[in-house]
Structure formats: structure tokens, C-alpha cells
Amino acid sequence: MNDLREKLRETTDFLRSRGVTEPEVGIVLGTGLNDYVDRLEDAICIPYNEIPNFTSGKVDSHRGLLAYGTHQGKKIIVMAGRYHYYECRDMDVTAFPARVMVALGIRRLIITNAAGCVNRGFRAGQLMLISDHINLSGKNPLMGPNLDEFGPRFPDMTYTYDANLRDELRSRAAVEGIDLAEGVYCMFTGPSFETPAEIRMARTIGADAVGMSSVPEAIIANQAGCEIIGISFLSNMAAGVLDKPLTGEEVTEASKLIQNDFARVVDLAIQI
């Protein structure tokens, strides 16, 4: 992506001209979790293919739109559908929506995804708060010239997923009968699912869940000093945990069963 700064200016100017003015909270919705976008009130919805510089990748969801509206008294920007690195082969494209949300001034980013469950103590169908991540993509979205106005060249990653917010979210969810697991998310590039040997490796190095996204957005938002809450929907036991093959359809099918709890947890993640 040539001249990222120029592209960001063009995109944010366009979005402001369409009324996306002062978002406080950003949300990225993962595979099968896009329906949350319908919770926004008075939403301005803009399909990605109308947004300058959003057209260079393919999105995985039927939505593929940016929505801006209010919910629970907060101004919220929602990305319904994301650009995966495995699709566009370009980290600048993958992380661009997160950069745009940061440039528009969000202070908190809620990142969601579907993930494979590596930890045998957790179960498929559960929601997991991300406490930390391992980046096995081999790439970092901050590679290339640093945009100093976004943050430092070498950002610290120690407190990426705010521990106080996690504690608060877990206890608030527990009051509502929602049991949130908590663990480390490991990003592989995909699009093939991992092999059983890769899942054993992931477990050995400390992963509780595996997926093909989210880490680029977290790195971008963390550099800019945003609070980050990561929520994984553990849609399936990861490869080799059960003696059966994995399919993409299984992931989207499973997500249908969790919509209510997922929406409730995202609501809480906005409130706390």
C-alpha cells in the first residue's frame, strides 16, 4: 500500500464527511459474529466497496460494511467483516480498518474472532477472553516506515489486553451466568487449518486458542495506546484434539448458537 498516511487521510476525510465523526469505541466482528452490528441505534452503514482504500481485499462475511451509531450511550464504530491476511497477502490492507478507527480517535477496541480450542480444559461453544497473543504469522503490521503520530517505533506489548478490564468483564459476565474462559490466542496465517502437530506445538508454547486474525488489529491499537478487549468464540476443538476433520462451515454453524451470549459480553465490554 503506497503512502499509508495519505490513504488514511483520504479514508478518514471520507468517513467524516459521511458523519462518522467521534467514535469512542471500535468493534471488529469476527466470522459468524456479524449480527451484532444490528444493535447500533441510528446507524450510518457504509459498504466497504464505497469506502476509499477499503476495496483492495476480499472480506469473509456477507456484511462487509462499516457502521457508526450509538449503543448504551457510547458512539461506536463497527467493522462487520475483516480483511484476512490469508486473503490479501498484505499486512497494510489487513490492518487498515484498525488504523482508520485509531485515526478517527477510538479509545477502546473490542476485537472478536472465531477460534479453534487448543486448551483441553476449555470446550467448543465457549467464549474466551484473550489475555495475550502469540504472533505466528511471520509478519507485523508495523513493519515499514513508522507513522510517529500513531505511536512509537518499538511499542511495548506487555499490557496489550488490559487485565483490569478482563477481571471486570469476567465478573460482570458471571453475574449473568456467562462463563468466560481466559487464555492466549495464537495467530497462524491460514487459510488451511492447522495440522495436529502444529496444534501440539501451539499448546506447548502456551496457546489456548488458534485463529487466523486479530493479532494485526491488536498490534495497531496497542501502539496507539487504546484499551483492547479480545473475545474469541471457541467454535471447534482444534485439529487433532478430536478424531475428526475440520470445516469452515462448522465454524459458522457453531457461531449461531452463541449469538446471545456473545452480544451480551460485547455489550458489557462497551459498558465497563
| 202 binds ligand HPA per the rule CB under 6 A | no
Residue from 25, 58, 56, 90 nearest 221 by CA: 25
| CB nearer ligand HPA, residue 103 or residue 187 | 187
| 116 binds ligand HPA per the rule CB under 6 A | yes
| CB nearer ligand HPA, residue 95 or residue 251 | 251
| 114 binds ligand HPA per the rule CB under 6 A | yes
| 235 binds ligand HPA per the rule CB under 6 A | yes
Of all residues in this chain, which one has the CB nearest to ligand HPA in the complex? Answer: 116
Stretch 157-196: interaction string toward ligand HPA, x if CB under 6 A: ------------------------------------xx--
Omega into 245 within 30° of 0, i.e. cis? no
Rounded to whole angstroms, how far apart are CA atoms 76 and 26? Answer: 6
| CB nearer ligand HPA, residue 53 or residue 214 | 214
Residues 6 or more apart in contact with residue 2 via CB below 8 angstroms? none
| 54 binds ligand HPA per the rule CB under 6 A | no
Of 39-47, 74-82, 113-121, 136-144, the segment contacting ligand HPA by CB under 6 A is 113-121
| 32 binds ligand HPA per the rule CB under 6 A | no
Interaction site with ligand HPA (CB under 6 A) = 114-116, 193-194, 210-212, 235-236, 238, 246, 251
